[in-house]
Structure 1
Amino acid sequence: MLVTTSGSIIDERLLPLGENDWRTRHSRRLALVDAFVVIWAVIGAYIGRFGYTTDPLASDHEFAYVLLSLGLAIAWWFMLGAWNSRHSRILGAGPDEYKRVAAASLWLFGLVAIVSYVLRVDTARGYVAIALPVGLAGLLLARWLLRQHLSVARQRGGSMSRLLLLGGPSAVAHLASSLYRERHAGYLPVAAYTPGGSGDVTVEPDSSLPILGHATDTASVLEAIEQCKADAVAVSAGVQLHPQTIRHLGWELAARNIGLIMAPALTDIAGPRIHTQQVAGLPLIHVTTPTLEGGQRVAKRLFDIVVSGILIVLTAPLMGFIAILVRADSKGPVLFKQDRVGMEGRHFQMLKFRSMVVDAEARLSELQHRNEGQGVLFKIKNDPRITRVGLTLRKYSLDELPQLFNIFAGSMSLVGPRPPLPREVEAYENDVRRRLLVKPGLTGLWQVSGRSNLSWQDSVRLDLYYVENWSLAGDLVIILRTVRAVFHSTGAY
């Protein structure tokens, strides 16, 4: 048995060994699913263009499209393989798999268009207009479903790559905790190796990983790999190995078909900000500075105005109905106005439907001893100040609908860090104040990652990650994930 830092137990019998492991099985499954989807797409395009016929050979024109459909399906399937969309390294986490599927499909149909133009072949537009979007949508949906299946298997301890962590003690502990937290990525740390470390330490205290050695030669590292049966080696920060030793280690790992992962000490930096450049044989990593200025700021503000305006119109009847329920349930105003701190420390009045009794703020001091929140947050699961209607409103985040007016007016954004109270900001450490570099949001990473169930440290980490790696595409993904989080009502109280 293996015990993680979170206390969960993993049955080692579920962990794959050797070449005939989950990678081979999952790649074969992907190949079969890809074949089914592309065949389904081209058949659907053929029927959509020419209709259903029992004798496709009756017409030379239709027979030509039968051959085209057969060739297109085969070429599509091979293009997906040529773009490495079934590579085990990209399966289960990150957008790279979807990008490769889309790129392979678009390149294929681009080539079809070029060949048709050069050879002056009259390809029916209706056929292409059906095959490409239907096939691409089907491929992406199938990949998403298979990813959910793989994620479930990984939560149970299967379909994981066994990882030996190579580096300094603190770096190994940080990398291990990060990988345990993101199990869907498919990496399971099974042991550590700390070159140049103390020979008396046999277990890493923070992650509880066994330390298999401290020597700085390649042979000792290879012996540790054999001992823990690792599928890959992650070289983290603080590793006390000569560059030539790491180079030799890479050659030896390649000969044994064992992966080598370089894990630099870059925390919460998104991929688009990282760029590599070869200088004198050294892969230098450049990290661009996050900015939200000029066109980006205008695009985000325009997006906020348009979407919040549409949502205000669409939800106006619902907000009217909620206002009647709030007024009928308890005495007091319908709306609750609270002083919050926005971008660059500017204060604003945040609007919410009142979900508590009128004297809720006055009763706060008598409930401090029941605080279940961490850090500067005040949270109580069964808060006696919440009204009957307010309980339902909070469960589905309906009490936050009036914040659409804050967004339309410009004091908030659709997506951003959680809007803090002034007393919370006063207790902020210097690093946490970076949350105030952007507008607070109606939703954000904190909303789709557990809401009130999050610890203070996780809440800060997610907010800072958003500030450092903002993008409009990322905002769209968070909004889509918010819908799911609201309906599940996880962590809402």
Structure 2
Amino acid sequence: MRQFSSAMPGPAVPLAPHRTTSRREPGDGRHVPIAVCADFAAVALPTALALATAGHAHPVRHALVITAVWMLAGLATRRCPPWTWGEGASVGPVVRDWLLLLGVLAVLGAVPGTGALPAATPAALLPSLAATVVCRKVIHRHLMAVRRHARALRRVLVIGEAPAVDAVVEQLAERTDHEYVVVGACVVGDGEVESGVPVAARLRAGPPLAPDEDAGPVTGAAETLGADLVFAAAGRHMSGHRLRRLSWAVHDRGCPLMVLPGIVEVARRRVRLTSAAGLTLLHIAPPARRGLPAVLKAVTDRVGALLLLVLLAPLFALLALVVRTGSAGPVIYRQTRVGRGGAPFPMWKFRTMVVDADRMKHDLAAANEHDGHMFKLRRDPRVTPVGRFLRRSSLDELPQLVNVLLGHMSLVGPRPPLPEEVAGYDPVEMRRLSVKPGLTGLWQVSGRSDLSWQETVSLDLRYVDNWSWAWDISVMARTVRAVLDGRGAY
């Protein structure tokens, strides 16, 4: 969330009081040498030790060669550029480079005269994988922390029509996991900017009368506001040729320009840049629905559910005993939910409410504390004492592993809705049903019932459009922390 500067005339509307527009402090750049040094040490030291222990003739020399291959792989695949640290610190690029390193070493070992490496070398390289992943995660968390305190930010000047400027400001203000803070805008046309961002200049709505007509106001605004980055929102009056001339002026000042195409919530891995006949094109890959990713997800769901059911069998027995002795009624509660494509299925949970809870729901409808289709009460009188503990610890959801095993649900996905909730969905909300509902998901690891309905739908749609197997593994790992924390579970 950001608070806009009032360096230019006009009132500034603070969207987030804890964010300021102080000059950018060093933050991103210094992480690169730290990551490079960590990469170097993580490969060089254990490899040299392994080679020396195996009695290799030249352990240090070979360790340096292996380290050089690792560093060159990172350079070639752009593993450590500054802009990647704030994007979630994905493990995928690290694993890819590590496998590339093993492949290169296997090829080098087959070349006559180079000398075969000891069999223990791949095992010695495991610390490089772990250390690099840990380093990226630590850097990512540090960046998120300093950005929440308005540090390591980039001051942005937005150029576009008033509605586009408001849309950009609103989108950036919703989250704090990025480095951009808007300090002003150059508005195309006479439209009113409602977001409160200071309007530093006005540009003609029609074609410029002179080729450099936009250059003076934009560069002057950037200089006055101290902006170190310009966002240009494409629109009806911001044509390709106009953007091109504007980029000349901005780049001559030494300021980067980023063009916003208007698409939102699309993962970077789905976007590919290409060109044709002088046009710059963004190719957006469709969400993964079939092929190897879908097969891998299905296998992970079934195998994972089966293993967890076997391992947690003693806990199931204990919880069943606790529920049965805690209150009168069955141990398992069966409820109809809606799955992928709108297909209903029976979902099972450990019972957490009194037996006639469904009949009491109508009487409590006026007390609903949720702003959307879901029914939630922080102090629901229907919940039993044992049920309150099961809900806070999320243990009541464990029987849904059977649903996962039967193919009704996935380990990770959107929350499974009730039929009466789905009846009130609009076309956008219906897209939540494009994938199987999940035992856990972004909703569960991001606040659960404390989230508004709009936030819940936004998280679910982000997952539906951008899911990947690696993201599923990350969500499952975050679920453990969310369960222990218990925030939003009631």
CA pair 128-219 structure 1, distance change in 2 beyond 3 A: farther
1:204-234 residue CA offsets vs partner (Å, 9 max, x unmatched): 32x3211222214122111111122112111
CA distance in 2, matches of 1:428, 1:99: 35
Question: Pick from 9, 14, 30: which aligns with 2:18?
Answer: 9
- Look up the SS of the partner of 1:213 in the other structure: strand
* Structure 2: segments with no counterpart, 5+ residues: 5-12, 205-213
Contact kept? 2:85, 2:136, Cα under 8 Å: no
Contact kept? 1:379, 1:452, Cα under 8 Å: yes
1:333-344 superposed matches below 5 A = 333-344=330-341
Question: Structure 1 counterpart of 2:458, which letter?
Answer: R
CA pair 405-111 structure 1, distance change in 2 beyond 3 A: closer
How many residue pairs get aligned? The number is: 472
CA pair 244-408 structure 1, distance change in 2 beyond 3 A: same
Is 1:47 matched with 2:40? no
1:472, distance to aligned residue in structure 2 (A): 2.6
Contact kept? 1:190, 1:228, Cα under 8 Å: yes
Contact kept? 1:304, 1:413, Cα under 8 Å: yes
CA distance in 2, matches of 1:461, 1:407: 24
Contact kept? 1:49, 1:126, Cα under 8 Å: no
1:65, distance to aligned residue in structure 2 (A): 1.6
> 2:200 maps to what in 1?
212
Moved more, 307-316 or 238-247: 238-247
Contact kept? 2:147, 2:153, Cα under 8 Å: yes
- Look up the SS of the partner of 1:10 in the other structure: coil
> 2:408 maps to what in 1?
411
Contact kept? 2:3, 2:15, Cα under 8 Å: no
CA distance in 2, matches of 1:140, 1:254: 35
> 2:82 maps to what in 1?
88
CA pair 437-72 structure 1, distance change in 2 beyond 3 A: closer
Q: RMSD value over aligned CA atoms? A: 2.6
> 2:377 maps to what in 1?
380
> 2:399 maps to what in 1?
402
1:114-263 superposed matches below 5 A = 114-126=107-119, 128-198=121-191, 201=192, 204-205=193-194, 207-216=195-204, 217-238=214-235, 240-263=237-260
- TM value normalised by structure 2: 0.88
Moved more, 339-348 or 249-258: 249-258
Contact kept? 2:187, 2:199, Cα under 8 Å: yes
- Look up the SS of the partner of 1:172 in the other structure: helix
CA distance in 2, matches of 1:295, 1:34: 33
CA pair 35-276 structure 1, distance change in 2 beyond 3 A: closer
Question: Structure 2 counterpart of 1:253, which letter?
Answer: V
CA distance in 1, matches of 2:303, 2:294: 14
> 1:56 maps to what in 2?
none
Identity of aligned residues (%): 36
Is 1:371 matched with 2:396? no
> 1:69 maps to what in 2?
63
- Look up the SS of the partner of 1:184 in the other structure: coil
1:317-332 superposed matches below 5 A = 317-332=314-329
Contact kept? 1:194, 1:239, Cα under 8 Å: no
Question: Structure 1 counterpart of 2:201, which letter?
Answer: G
* Structure 1: segments with no counterpart, 5+ residues: 53-58
